[in-house]
Amino acid sequence: MLKRRYPIGAEVTKDGVFFRVWAPKRRHVSVVIEGGGEHALAPEGGGYFSGTIARAPAGTRYRFRLDQGKTLYPDPASRFQPDGPHGPSEIVDPFTFRWSDAGWAGVKLEGQILYEMHIGTFTPEGTWAAAAAKLPLLKDIGVTVLEMMPVNEFPGEFGWGYDGVDLFAPTRLYGAPDDLRRFVDAAHGLGMGVLLDVVYNHLGPDGNYLACFSDGYQTDRYKGEWGNPINFDGPDSGPVREFFAANAAYWIDEFHFDGLRIDATQSMFDASDEHVLANIVRAARDAAGERSIMRTATGSMRFGTTTSTTRPWSRSPAGTRPTTRITRERRRNSSRRQNTAICSRGSSMPIKASAAGRRGSISPPPPSSSLSRTMIRSPTPPAACASINSQAPAEHAR
């Protein structure tokens, strides 16, 4: 089998596009290319199906057909959903973008001023391109690191990002994937780092088709705060843990983010010998190479406690693990929640700033007209699969 960068998804190679998907509840999986026919994928074992299609250039749209049914589904690891989570996936070649940050060494914790940014409300346009044009203003007021609220795909035309469903796909509402790359590249050019807020504790209820491929992505063995949590320690949890670790590496590698803010870790249930957060940290650290990266987190784990606040990830000596300092001690008071995020939540304003090691604030720009947008549902979705997350509540406030 050809060497892959990530366990699943569509990857551009010299021989064409290599498709791989985990669908253990299916016996047949095929790729349907818009204007390019249908191509059966070969079973590998362990629930995986894969195959290479020679004529499928970047920009080609595709979906999966499962068990020869009539309904077509988006890729669980889609890199772009141009029509939203219910539409076709689009092949993306990340190597066509020309980065100019080769000399960027990353960011370290000491002395940083963080600014939390929601792209959809930061400018009237609500795009990465418009936000990139304003970066010099943030530099002028002393901001050194941007914390970008979640950008993965979600339904409708506005959202805070915490009920995303396509974890590898930057939302089409803010632009194309390369627009996000240009934003990060521009920030680095001004000497500012960029962190990404990621949600690994649940999935949004609308547009989540993972249950069509496998029942192993989520679990009802724990009670989640926003629907059923992710299955990190039950049957079929191995590929699920791999999926989320790969996602963390993906943002660091293909978009040059300088670290991750991991949302609500108290709802990442895991009774494994090694908590999944350790897997995620290790994958992100390895993806960064020689760059220094940071991580922040909110909450305390149900089956372990993070014993440090926001801190840098530094490269560990060969053969050792990064110093994540994650233990498996149960919390004595299960109702207590510690907040280790450098940017606290709870304010009605979507944009805040704080200094590492001390609380501070600056006046955010006035909310743009995008705050008054109404929620508009995406085009009619494909037939829904039975999903244990179908009764999840609306997007949670932060």
Give the model's pLDDT for residue 386.
Answer: 54
Is there a single domain that holds both residue 242 and residue 153?
yes
Between residues 125 and 306, the one the model is more confident about: 125
Is the model's pLDDT at 394 over the cut of 50?
no
What is the average per-residue pLDDT within 19-23? 98
What is the average per-residue pLDDT within 287-296? 88
Tens digits of per-residue pLDDT, 135-159?
999 999 999 999 999 999 999 999 9
What is the average per-residue pLDDT within 376-394? 50
Is there a single domain that holds both residue 74 and residue 154?
no
Confidence of residue 381 (pLDDT cuts 50, 70, 90): low
What is the average per-residue pLDDT within 95-121? 95
Confidence of residue 384 (pLDDT cuts 50, 70, 90): low
- CATH number of the domain enclosing 259: 3.20.20.80
| Residue 397 forms part of a structural domain | no
Give the model's pLDDT for residue 2.
Answer: 66
| Residue 164 forms part of a structural domain | yes
Is there a single domain that holds both residue 111 and residue 67?
no
| Residue 255 forms part of a structural domain | yes
Between residues 71 and 36, the one the model is more confident about: 71
Is there a single domain that holds both residue 136 and residue 34?
no
Is there a single domain that holds both residue 149 and residue 290?
yes
Is the model's pLDDT at 286 over the cut of 70?
yes
Tens digits of per-residue pLDDT, 171-189?
999 999 999 999 999 999 9
Could you give the number of structural domains in the chain? Answer: 2
Confidence of residue 380 (pLDDT cuts 50, 70, 90): low
**Mean pLDDT lowest for which of 26-30, 44-48, 97-101, 377-381?**
377-381
Q: What is the 3-state secondary structure (H, E, C) of the chain?
A: CCCCCCCCEEEEECCEEEEEEECCCCCCEEEEECCCEEEECEEEECCEEEEEECCCCCCCEEEEEECCCCCEECCCCCCCCCCCCCCCEECCCHHHCCCCCCCCCECCCCCCEEEEECHHHHCCCCCHHHHHHCHHHHHHCCCCEEEECCCEECCCCCCCCCCCCEEEEECHHHCCHHHHHHHHHHHHHCCCEEEEEECCCCCCCCCCCHHHHCCCCECCCCCCCCCCCECCCCCCHHHHHHHHHHHHHHHHHHHCCCEEEECCHHHCCCCCCCCHHHHHHHHHHHHHCCCEEEEEECCCCCCCEECCCCEEECCCCCCCCCCCCEECCCCCCCCCCCCCCCCCCCCCCCCEEEECCECCCCCCCCCCHHHHCCCCCCCCCCCCCCCCCCCCCCCCCC
Share of the chain above pLDDT 70, in %: 74
Give the model's pLDDT for residue 332.
Answer: 30
| Residue 394 forms part of a structural domain | no
Domain edge (last residue) among 31, 60, 95: 95
Is there a single domain that holds both residue 143 and residue 215?
yes
What is the average per-residue pLDDT within 277-289? 95
Q: Which residues constitute the domain of residue 269?
A: 98-372
How high does pLDDT run on average in the chain? Answer: 81
Is there a single domain that holds both residue 127 and residue 276?
yes
**Mean pLDDT lowest for which of 6-15, 130-139, 363-372?**
363-372
Domain edge (last residue) among 95, 129, 145: 95
| Residue 390 forms part of a structural domain | no
Is there a single domain that holds both residue 132 and residue 266?
yes
Give the model's pLDDT for residue 3.
Answer: 82
Is there a single domain that holds both residue 65 and residue 106?
no
What is the average per-residue pLDDT within 201-217? 94
Is there a single domain that holds both residue 141 and residue 218?
yes
**Mean pLDDT lowest for which of 46-50, 177-181, 204-208?**
204-208
Domain edge (last residue) among 95, 115, 134: 95
Between residues 315 and 179, the one the model is more confident about: 179
Give the model's pLDDT for residue 224.
Answer: 87
What is the average per-residue pLDDT within 326-344? 29
| Residue 53 forms part of a structural domain | yes
Between residues 344 and 260, the one the model is more confident about: 260
Is there a single domain that holds both residue 250 and residue 350?
yes
| Residue 333 forms part of a structural domain | yes
Is there a single domain that holds both residue 108 and residue 59?
no
What is the average per-residue pLDDT within 126-133? 98
**Mean pLDDT lowest for which of 40-54, 176-190, 260-274, 382-396?**
382-396
| Residue 343 forms part of a structural domain | yes
